[in-house]
Amino acid sequence: MEIISVAVAVVVLGILYKRMIAREVPEQIGTLQAVVPAALGMVSTALSFPLMLLSAVLLVSAGFVADGNSLWMRSIVSALIVAGLPEELSKFLMLLISILIFRSRLRNVYEYVLLGAGVGLGFTIFEEYLYSDSEPAALIFRLFLIALHLIFSMIMAYHFGMARYQRQTRTGSPFWSCILAFLVPIVMHTLYDACTGMNKYLLAEDDDTVMIGIIIGIAGTIVMFIAQVILLRKVRKNAGALSAMTFDRKADRTPEAKPEPGTDAVSDTMSGAAPAAASEAAPAAGPGAGPEAGSESAPDIAPEN
């Protein structure tokens, strides 16, 4: 069953990843830039185990204990210690390494998103091998949420890319984007696992409490599935606009450099399609092209509050 589970992950996520790469304009990333993050993603799966032990020691010593709290708080703390913090932290570190390796090659915000997708892909493949269940029902259940780690890592990478872009164009808050890159995936992952795998209601002795746990689990799964679909569609819709948000490599060496005057704004909202003009202008966009200070907000793939 492990082979089937891994094969399904490779095929489904491989097709998704390949299509995401093909949407970059005017040209796509190279093979090395696509494969290395995926390999580092597999490393992050193994790294998450020692990080889980470390996070357990640190959180427990800081007073974050599951015992003595409500069932929901116990679920939250357990999910944070076992999955949310160690797994997202391990992917966070591998994403940083990917960025350091390919920083000179990264041309736009969308390529940051692709780095995150690669790390999430590698993590999922190795995790499917480790945690695959022999029951067909469990395999089908995991298939519906197979892109979750992809989504978490893409959100992380998107905010890193926006931080670099904001620093160069002197718009927004690069510091806040870096904070969101770390916190948003951890919060999403923790809440999901608190509703499902770490749901303490399911371990209660009375049937009424168990039923509450089942309802919470079903609701959490549905919400996360919908979020997965919405975020994947947003990435597809905004691929052109994110590709047009290019970096000025000279600005990386000279932080005080300002964006060139007269550049066109590339804007979008989470619920709207990317402007056609931005997509058409993407092949001609030079380094540093993008929104000026005071322009509309950049395309956003992060979940709404």
The amino acid at 299: P
Pairwise CA distance, residues 84 & 63, whole Å: 17
pLDDT at site 67: 63
Cis peptide upstream of residue 136 (ω within 30 degrees of 0): no
Quick: pLDDT tens for 5-38.
788 889 999 999 999 999 998 889 999 999 999 9
Pairwise CA distance, residues 40 & 209, whole Å: 41
Mean pLDDT of the region 147-151: 94
Secondary structure (H, E, C), the chain: CHHHHHHHHHHHHHHHHHHHHHCCCCCCCCHHHHHHHHHHHHHHHHHHHHHHHHHHHHHHHCCCCCCCCCHHHHHHHHHHHHHHHHHHHHHHHHHHHHHHHHCCCCCEHHHHHHHHHHHHHHHHHHHHHHHCCCCHHHHHHHHHCCCHHHHHHHHHHHHHHHHHHHHHHCCCCHHHHHHHHHHHHHHHHHHHHHHCCCCHHHHCCCHHHHHHHHHHHHHHHHHHHHHHHHHHHHHHHCHHHHHHCECCHHHHHCCCCCCCCCCCCCCCCCCCCCCHHHHHHHHHCCCCCCCCCCCCCCCCCCCCC
Enter the pTM of the model: 0.80
| pLDDT above 70 for 262 | no
Report in angstroms the alpha-carbon separations of 219 from 149, 210, 216. Answer: 19, 14, 5
Quick: pLDDT tens for 41-91.
999 999 999 999 998 888 778 777 666 678 999 999 999 999 999 999 999
Cβ within 8 Å of residue 208, ≥6 positions away: none
Quick: pLDDT tens for 102-128.
999 999 999 999 999 999 999 999 988
| pLDDT above 50 for 290 | no
| pLDDT above 60 for 137 | yes
Mean pLDDT of the region 231-255: 84
pLDDT at site 298: 67
Quick: pLDDT tens for 210-228.
999 999 999 999 999 999 9
Mean pLDDT of the chain: 83
Residue 286 — very low, low, confident or very high, per pLDDT cuts 50/70/90?
very low
pLDDT at site 114: 97
Structure-model confidence comparison of residues 157 and 134, the more confident one: 157
